[in-house]
């Protein structure tokens, strides 16, 4: 088996969507992927509702932290095969130059952390977003990456990001 594919999931705050996507890629990818997450302007804390859902997936939450994408543009950082933005703000920002020229795509999701209401309403928004991310991750994981060229992978990744949620 080849080494795992490295994937970086980006958002602005790195507190919810990118954290959940990191956990989904790492759990659903079953060793085929090593996922990381980061933010352009990290909040410095992971949202408690994201932690709750990620823990329910069986993903270890002890090492989760809201971190800057600058960590992944530094010398010695893991070289990424793929970079996915999951919020519209991060998609519109000028990203650092990633070592290795990874394939990039945008998969936009509404921010569950922006939901105002009861804890039950917030939890429901997080669960809905987790489900939406999970569907796109599953589609990506089903691609025969080993047999596709870079352009085909990029086209597939972008198509996944345009699918209705």
Q: What is the pLDDT of residues 26-55, one digit of tens each?
A: 999 989 999 999 998 999 999 999 999 999
Given the residues 57, 73, 77, 95, the one annotated as active site: 95
Q: What is the pLDDT of residue 108?
A: 92
Q: How far apart are CA 81 and CA 47, in angstroms?
A: 27
Backbone dihedral angles phi then psi of residue 105, each to the nearest 5 degrees = -155, 160
* Tokens representing residue 101 in the block: 């020229």
Four-point Cα dihedral 145, 132, 62, 118, nearest 10: 170
88 labelled catalytic: no
Can you say how many angstroms the Cα of residue 95 is from the centroid of all Cα atoms in its chain? Answer: 15
109 labelled catalytic: no
- Among 6-10, 88-92, 104-108, 125-129, the least confident range: 88-92
- Nearest residue to 51 (alpha-carbon basis) of 36, 42, 61: 61
Class of domain 5-162: alpha beta
Given the residues 10, 19, 87, 125, the one annotated as active site: 87
11 labelled catalytic: yes
In the predicted model, what is the mean pLDDT of the chain? 91
8 Å CB contact between 40 and 90:
yes
């Amino acid at each position: 088996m080849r080494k795992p594919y490295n994937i970086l999931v980006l958002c602005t705050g790195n507190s919810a969507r990118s954290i959940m996507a990191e956990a989904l890629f790492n759990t659903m990818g079953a060793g085929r992927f090593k996922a990381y997450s980061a933010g352009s302007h990290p909040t410095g804390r992971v949202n408690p509702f994201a932690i709750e859902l990620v823990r329910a997936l069986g993903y270890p939450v002890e090492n989760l932290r809201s971190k800057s994408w600058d960590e992944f543009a530094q010398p010695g950082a893991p070289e990424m095969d793929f970079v996915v933005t999951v919020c519209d703000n991060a998609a519109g920002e000028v990203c650092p130059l990633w070592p290795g020229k990874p394939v990039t795509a945008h998969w936009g999701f509404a921010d569950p952390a922006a939901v105002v209401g009861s804890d039950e309403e917030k939890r429901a928004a997080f669960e809905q977003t987790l489900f939406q991310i999970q569907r796109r991750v599953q589609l990506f994981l089903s691609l025969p990456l080993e047999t596709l060229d870079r352009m085909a992978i990029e086209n597939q990744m972008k198509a996944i990001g345009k699918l209705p949620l």
